[in-house]
Amino acid sequence: MKDIKSSKKRNLWFERFMAIAATVNLGLVLFNLSYVPWRDFYLRKLPQVIQIYDPIKGIEPHRDTKNYLDTIDALEEQVRQTGLESSQVNSRLIQISRLSSEMIDSNPFAGANKSGTLEKIKKRMRSHIGNESAKQSFATFWSQPYLSQNGWVKEINFFNESIRPLIATNYYRQIGENGDFVDNFWTLDLPFVMLFGVELLGRTLFIKRRHPGLSWFEAVLWRWYDLFLILPFWRWLRILPVLVRLDRAHLLNLHPVRKQIHQGIVANFAEELTEVVVVRVINQIQGSIQRGELTQWLSQQENLRPYIDINNVNEVEAIASLLVKTIVYHVLPDIQPAIVAILHHNIETVFHQVPIYRNLQNLPGVGQAQTQLSEQLATQITTNLYKTLVSAVEDPVGAKLTSQLVQRFSEALGSEIKEKHVLSEIQSLLFDFLEEIKINYVQRLSQEDIDQIIEQTRQLRTQASVPSVVKKSTALPEIREG
């Protein structure tokens, strides 16, 4: 017992380790998928991430925008050395104004799908200068008269706070020989793929050994969801095996989620399934009537399809016999006092309706004698009737006569029903009746509140799972005669 518990504990720790490893891998996959869309955020808040992960995605600074910002850095250094009014600064300003015009014309942001960023830069500069032309706004901004009049420090701070961060977000992404962007995420993913591949191989060998009848392909499909952990594409689908592993490792309880998913699936299909099943059954009955199988059954001829008997017992007769014995030996003795009371009441009612009896009521002792007489009559009638029923059940001759009566009744009924006009009318009425059921009731079944039915079913399963205090036997109760 201790060895079993120890083995289960080791297995649980192994499952948890692999579940955590799969979760970490999924986190890297999701980070890799979101890196490019969120790169601007990382650039502003976590620039260290940019330095580490840009090479993995094949991202490098764009040559044109980097040169533009480097030229502005050189301008700031030149202003610190020679002042704003120097010829060297004027030369730098002319160069930056030309680069600004080229940036607007060539749109170096298009390669990174960031043309919207260039539009935002142009809009901010037009708004700051008050000119409708972006090129003229940049030319005005990068001029000595404008910077001298409005203050160098103020204007360069505006650029560094409002324009430079937008330009800095631009980048160039390398393209591989296959025509796609370079993505070296596989270097991070490969150790995990190897780990999960070895694990899947080991689990497949274990499954194959426990179930020799399975093929290798079937053994692999036993844990088909783990295949997503080793596929180099559609990596986002790894969320499925991760959730399964976390649930099996008892690190995450997905039972409520599974229940809601199952309920949603059942709710989506229940309405259509109800209609299909009920209509199909009714159609089969109608088809049976149209094919004349009802006529053959009533005439006790051989059916189109032979009836299969699996136990050589007429279940209808057996059930009828069981019900008769239960009523005679158990039900009637329990309700006999009530039957006696009803008979007693009826006998007294009859006595009261007789004129002679009403006149005798005035004589002493007659009323008490009448009560005793009615009780005796009621008891005697009930007892004799019960004995007659018991005798009919236990007497072989009586049982045989009863069987003959039932058989004769069936034959007489069948012969009358076999009359062409009667049978034709019965078939027509049955067919129309079934058609009305489809029209009037099947639609109600489909329109019934499926969610309410599912909730009732769930409550029944919950109640059934609660251990019962009293164990009920599944065998039929023994019928004791006498």
pLDDT at 144: 94
Compute the distance between CA of residue 439 and CA of residue 430 in angstroms, rounded to an integer: 14
pLDDT at 323: 75
Q: Where are the alpha helices (DSSP H) in 107-238?
A: 115-129, 134-141, 144-150, 152-158, 164-168, 186-210, 216-221
Burial of 372 (0-12, 13-18, 19+ CB in 10 A): exposed
User: Tens-digit pLDDT profile for the chain (482 aa)?
Assistant: 555 566 667 788 989 999 999 999 999 999 999 999 999 999 999 999 999 999 999 999 999 999 999 999 999 999 999 999 999 999 999 999 999 999 999 999 999 999 999 999 999 999 999 999 999 999 999 999 999 999 999 999 999 999 999 999 999 999 888 888 899 999 999 999 999 999 999 999 999 998 888 889 888 888 899 999 999 889 999 999 999 999 888 888 887 777 777 666 666 666 666 666 667 777 777 777 777 665 665 554 444 455 565 666 666 566 767 777 788 787 878 888 888 788 777 777 766 666 655 555 555 555 566 667 677 777 878 887 777 777 766 777 766 776 666 667 666 666 666 665 666 777 777 777 777 776 766 655 555 555 666 666 667 666 766 554 444 444 333 434 43
Tell me if 200 sits within 8 A of 231, measured CB to CB.
no
Task: Look at phi and psi of residue 250 and say left if phi exceeds 0, alpha if psi is from -120 to 50, else beta.
Answer: left
pLDDT at 304: 43
Compute the distance between CA of residue 144 and CA of residue 85 in angstroms, rounded to an integer: 7
Phi, psi of 173, deg, nearest 5: -115, 130
Phi, psi of 175, deg, nearest 5: -115, 130
Compute the distance between CA of residue 419 and CA of residue 425 in angstroms, rounded to an integer: 10
pLDDT at 422: 65
pLDDT at 36: 93
Compute the distance between CA of residue 167 and CA of residue 179 in angstroms, rounded to an integer: 26
Distance set, CA 349 to CA 275, 352, 365 (Å) = 56, 5, 19
Compute the distance between CA of residue 441 and CA of residue 393 in angstroms, rounded to an integer: 42
Taking the CA atoms of residue 68, residue 69, residue 73 and residue 78 in that order, the dihedral angle to the nearest 10 degrees is: 20
Q: Which residues of 97-120 are buried (b: 16+ CB within 10 A; e: fewer)?
A: bebbeebbeeebbeebebeebbee
pLDDT at 55: 94
pLDDT at 19: 94
Instruction: Report the alpha-carbon angle 449-450-455, nearest 5.
Output: 105
Compute the distance between CA of residue 366 and CA of residue 379 in angstroms, rounded to an integer: 20
pLDDT at 34: 93
Tell me if 348 sits within 8 A of 376, measured CB to CB.
no
Find the distance separating the first CA and the last CA of the chain, reported in whole Å: 54
Tokens (6 digits) for 113: 């799908």
pLDDT at 443: 57
Distance set, CA 211 to CA 222, 225, 286 (Å) = 11, 19, 47
pLDDT at 154: 95
Q: Which residues pair with 60 in a beta bridge?
A: 172
Phi, psi of 61, deg, nearest 5: -60, 140
Tell me if 417 sits within 8 A of 300, measured CB to CB.
no
Read off the DSSP letter of residue 62.
-
Compute the distance between CA of residue 248 and CA of residue 15 in angstroms, rounded to an integer: 8
Spell out the residues 6+ positions from residue 266 whose beta carbon is closer than 8 angstroms to its own.
450, 454
Compute the distance between CA of residue 290 and CA of residue 284 in angstroms, rounded to an integer: 10
